[in-house]
Amino acid sequence: MAELRLEHIYKTYKGGVEAVKDLNLTVRDGEFLALLGPSGCGKTSTLRMIVGLEEITRGEMYIGNRLVNKLEPNQRNVALAFETYALYPPLSVFDNIAFCLRARSVPKPEISQRVKQVADMLDITDILDRKPAELGGGQKQRISLARALVRDPDVFLMDEPLSHLDAAQRSHMRVELKRLHAQTGRTTILVTHDQLEAVAMAQRIAVMNFGVLQQVGTFDEIYNRPVNEFVAGFIGEPPMNFLPATPVREDGTFLLVAADN
């Protein structure tokens, strides 16, 4: 486990498109944080920079006390559970989970021990011999999580992990992911556009829009004290209503006068 610190992070793609602008964010050691915002707001670009799949254009990123800007993904000890599961169809569930350990030449007895440990944790020990094509969406999601966790990462990232599940499966997995975090205590970031997921699982929420971090806090803090109109309109269900009005001073008191239309 480790604290993750992003300092003045920018991501600019070819053509000058700024996906992330001056991002300053600290994820505490062992915290579960949700990165929440609409599609195209910079969430996934941020996640890909953390794991090392995208270069940082400007700024500094620390995991613990290590500056990781120039480190390769396999040197950062960060694990990512993909939205699309990213499983190998020809391999069994056991072999899918063990794949990264074998690539690192981890001894066979340790591989068996670590795979069994995460399989027990995610309640998939009874399907270790099966192939991905034989499984449902919820089971595939658990395997994807197991593949990430078996590496024993300092930071655990999830990119829209529940987007391909039905409503009942999503509800169940929200409970399971929260339990999993409580059990492992790993520094965890969930990327989602669904505020229900963020509220149900995360200890704090970081709201992004147009590549800019808008506000960070607990759901109650953000809902009750939004810092701007975007956050006020984005957080909460149903969303907050806005009425155009003009402040007017009358007899020493300020009043808000609603527009005629």
Q: Which residue has the tokens 């007895």?
A: 109
| CATH for the 4-77+153-258 domain, from 3.40.50.300, 3.30.450.40, 2.60.120.1440, 1.10.375.10 | 3.40.50.300
Helix, strand and coil in the chain, % to nearest 5: 35, 25, 35
Q: Note the pLDDT of residue 164.
A: 80
Coil, helix or strand for 159? strand
pLDDT at residue 255 above 60? yes
pTM for the structure as a whole: 0.87
pLDDT at residue 68 above 90? yes
Q: How many CB atoms lie within 10 A of CB 251?
A: 5
Task: Say if CB 127 and CB 139 are below 8 A apart.
Answer: yes
Q: Which residue has the tokens 């506000």?
A: 215
Provide φ and ψ at 247, rounded to 5°: -75, 130
pLDDT tens, position by position, 8-41: 999 999 999 999 999 999 999 999 999 999 999 9
* H or E stretch at 199: helix 195-201
* H or E stretch at 213: strand 212-217
Q: Note the pLDDT of residue 168.
A: 87
Tokens of 170: 């999503």
Q: Work out the mean pLDDT of the chain and round it to a whole number.
A: 92
Coil, helix or strand for 192? strand
pLDDT at residue 261 above 70? no
pLDDT at residue 259 above 80? no
pLDDT tens, position by position, 120-155: 988 899 999 999 999 998 899 889 999 999 988 999
